[in-house]
Every structure is written in structure tokens, then in C-alpha cells.
Amino acid sequence: MSLTPIIIKRALCAGLLLCSVQALAGAREQAMQIHSRVAGVPPSQAVLLAMTDHINNNDVAAAVRMAMENDGFYRATLKAMATPWTNRDFSPFAPLNDYTATVMGLVRDERDFRTLLYGDVLYTGAGNLGLPPYSLNNNEHYQALEAADVELIDALTEQPQSTLTGLPSAATAGVMTSRAGAKAFYYAGTNRAMFRFTLLNHLCRDLEQVHDTTRTPDRIRQDVSRSPGGDSRVFLNNCVGCHSGMDPMAQAFAYYDYEYDMETDPDAEFGALNYNGEGETDPATGTRVEAKYHINAGTFAPGYITENDQWDNYWRAGPNAILEWDPTLAGEGAGAKSLGMELAHSGAFASCQVEKVFTKVCLRQPGNSADRALVETATSNFASSGYNLKQVFIDTADYCKGQ
């Protein structure tokens, strides 16, 4: 007798048993899963019992909030979620830094999470922990905080970014002007990286997904060839689709740079964010605009010359209107702060945070119609809660608790 039917029968039975276990998962099993997914560690017996009682009383939100009171929610879950946003390689293994700590702090304090891109705020370690002071030139403060035997849920302290860094408050833009953000995305280049990675990390769109060749190309800089390889069709059908929208918005970063000593510090570990304030002039441009905005000017001399930090969102019209830009904002402004508000107040920003939390809690990306309905509901609840990211964890953990 062939063994194949027996094997198939046993596999079917095992599958049915697994499905039955999942379908019949009781409050205790659901509590265990919620805590493990949200905090990254199993709950203590006392917490498990309390969470189970909450679930039995149809108060899943209270159960999830208990899981978020565990330091693992900060040290493991939030750090693993936010750290890839802080570097170009999307590595989750980078050390704690001011960008990641600020994500943690805004979540802990249930702040409007949109201020991540425009607030005058950074989170540091508490002053009584004996840590090295916050520095513009190194990450020692946060490395010591991560190594310390303290719970991050209690150790983080909100600070005005302008006080810590010396930036004018009007020039602060949340994590876009954090040291870690500057090191990763203002480093060398043309500052387009800050725009591209912010779009990718916080609106869940890479440039290919917002490609639009119908926008006016009048703000594309001189360093972009209008005939790559001698073929203008490449520019008209490809390059213009990204640059016509990106360059007018990346102009918001014209006064920022990450400066370091290339000879003694080739890895740029000890550099610092530089901002050309009122009355300062870059010798290469004759204005407050950083020299990097005028590099390779001979590539296409008639191209746009950046003279200030005025930005415009050309994507408010055309196919990228689907990103749901806030109609109460002007769609134009000066500097990183107002651009950060433009991006953070979009519908795409809100739904992107929900998708990221869903993936972290449910251990998969939203895929089916039920998942998409949950994302839509959770996005609405996120907005109704004042953009409190803890509400997103509650909604997604509730949805996935029996899976």
C-alpha cells in the first residue's frame, strides 16, 4: 500500500488541528500572543492573568496597554521598527540615536506622531543617569543610554531640539534635523537623499511609485543632464518623472549640510549638522544656500539655480494627489519645518504608519481585503486619537490576536 494517502491524511489532520487551535484560542492564549508581539517578550504570570481578565471583559485595549508598559516595547519593538529609518542601508542593528529615541519618546508620551517631521523636539536620556551629555559631534550619549541597565520607558526625557542643537526653532524639523538624520541623509550628495528616504520611510513610497512625467520641470537643478547618454528621451520619459516633483521640495533643505573632516574621519562618525542662519553666506554660492546645491552646474547650465529654501509641492496636482495632501496647508513654504508638516499631514503618512505597525504586530504585510479594511479603520482611528501611535498598536494587536 502506498504511503502517500496516509501522509496526506495525516497532513490534513494536522492542518485541521492547527486551524482548530487557532480558532479556539482563548483569552489566555490571546493575551500571551499580544504581549509577545507588542513587547517582544512573554508576560509575567501576574501580567498574563490581568491581560486575560481584560480580554474576557472585552477590553482588549487595556490588555494591549499593559503590554506597552513593558520596556521591551521600547527596547525591542519600537527600536527594531524605527532604527531602519535612520540609515541608508535600512539596518535594524544600528545603535540607539536621537532619531530612534525621539520616535520612542513621542510614542510613550502619546504625542501627535506627525510632529516627528516638524517638531522642535528631541528625546535624550534623563539627566540623573550619569550619561555623557548630548553632543552635536558624536553619538556617545545614546550608546551609553542603550548600554545602561535602565528601562527606556522611564529614561527618556523630552527636550527642545533648538536648545540642544542651537538651531533656531523655526529651522528644527523633528528627526529631519536630528544628528542621526543629518548623518545619514545630509551626508555628501545633494540633500535629495533626505527627501527620498523621508518619503520612503514615512509615506511608504519610493520615487518610482510617485513617478510623474506630467509636472513642469522648471525647478530641476543644473546637475541633472537633459540628455543622459546623448538621448533626451531618457530625461523626458524617466528623469523628469522624479526630479520635477522632488527638486522643488528638496529645496527646503538648501541651508543644511552634515560637515565632517574627510581626512581624519572618513566614515563621518564625528561630524555635525550645519545650518546657514540669517546673515551667514556660503562662499561657494554667495547666499545661505549650501555649496552642494550648485555642484555639477555645468551639466546643464540653463537648469534651475537654487537661491533660497523656498519649496513647492507640484504633486498636489496630477496622479500624486492620491497621497491626500492636507487642503488646509498652502502646499508651499520655506525650510524643512513647513515641508515636514506638508508630508506628515498627508493621508499617505497616516496610512504608512498603520502599515508599518501592522507588519510589526501581525508579522506579515497587509494582503487580503480584511487586512486592508483594518488598515483603513486603524488609519481613521489614528487620526481621531490625535495621531497617537499607541492607538495603532491597539487596533492591530486586537485584529491579529487570534492569528
Q: 279 to each of 48, 164, 191, 282, how far by Cα in Å?
A: 60, 22, 22, 10
pLDDT of residue 402: 81
Residue 13 lies in a domain: no
In a domain, 95, yes or no: yes
- Mean pLDDT computed over 252-277: 97
Q: Which residue has the cell 509636472?
A: 215
Q: Do 114 and 207 lie in a common domain?
A: no
Residues in the chain, total: 403
Question: Taking 80 as the threshold, does the pLDDT of residue 208 lie above it?
Answer: yes
Other CB atoms within 10 A of residue 349 CB? 26
Give the angle subtended at the CA of 81 by the CAs of 105 and 269, to the nearest 5°.
Answer: 80
Q: Identify whether 353 is part of a domain.
A: no
Is 158 within the bounds of a domain? yes
Query: Which cell numbers hold the place of 227?
Result: 540628455
Residues 195 and 340 both lie in one domain = yes
Residue 314 and residue 207 share a domain: yes
**Do the domain assignments include residue 197?**
yes
CB count in 10 Å sphere of residue 21: 10
> Where does 136-245 show beta strands of DSSP type E?
156-159
> Nearest CA to 55 among 340, 403, 402, 319?
402
Q: Clarify whether residues 335 and 208 are in a common domain.
A: yes
Same domain, 191 and 318: yes
Residue 368 domain-assigned (yes or no): no
DSSP 13-26: HHHHHHHHHHHT--
Please check whether residues 119 and 190 belong to one and the same domain.
no
pLDDT band at 13 (very low <50, low <70, confident <90, very high): very low
User: Which segments of 40-113 does DSSP mark as H helices, in order?
Assistant: 45-56, 60-68, 72, 79-82, 98-108
Q: 298, 324, 345: which is the final residue of a domain?
A: 345
* pTM of the predicted model as reported, rounded to 2 decimal places: 0.92
Residue 239's φ and ψ, nearest 5 degrees, are -55, -45
**Does residue 15 surpass a pLDDT of 80?**
no
Domain boundary among 136, 171, 206: 171
Instruction: Tell me whether residue 26 is in a domain.
Output: no
One domain, residues 130 and 207 = no
- Residues 150 and 203 grouped into a single domain: no
Smallest Cα–Cα separation from 223: which of 288, 311, 287, 293? 293
Listed range (18-32, 87-101, 274-288) with the worst mean pLDDT: 18-32
Tally of structural domains, the chain: 2
DSSP state of 86: G
Is there a single domain that holds both residue 100 and residue 239? no
Dump pLDDT digits (tens) for 89-146.
999 999 999 999 999 999 999 999 999 999 999 999 999 999 999 999 999 999 999 9
Q: CA-based diameter of the chain, in Å?
A: 90
324 and 218 together in one domain: yes
Q: Which of 318, 345, 372 is the last residue of a domain?
A: 345
The reply to whether 232 and 149 lie within a common domain is: no
- 235 to each of 219, 228, 243, 305, how far by Cα in Å? 14, 7, 10, 19
Instruction: Judge whether 385 and 113 are in contact, CB under 8 Å.
Output: no
- E-only strand ranges, 220-331: 256-259, 272-275, 310-312
Shared domain check, 127 and 202: no
Residues of the domain holding 213: 186-345
Matching residue, cell 546673515: 279
Phi, psi of 251 (to 5 degrees): -65, -20
Q: What's residue 19's pLDDT?
A: 41
Q: For the chain, what is the radius of gyration of the CA atoms?
A: 24
Is residue 241 situated within a structural domain? yes
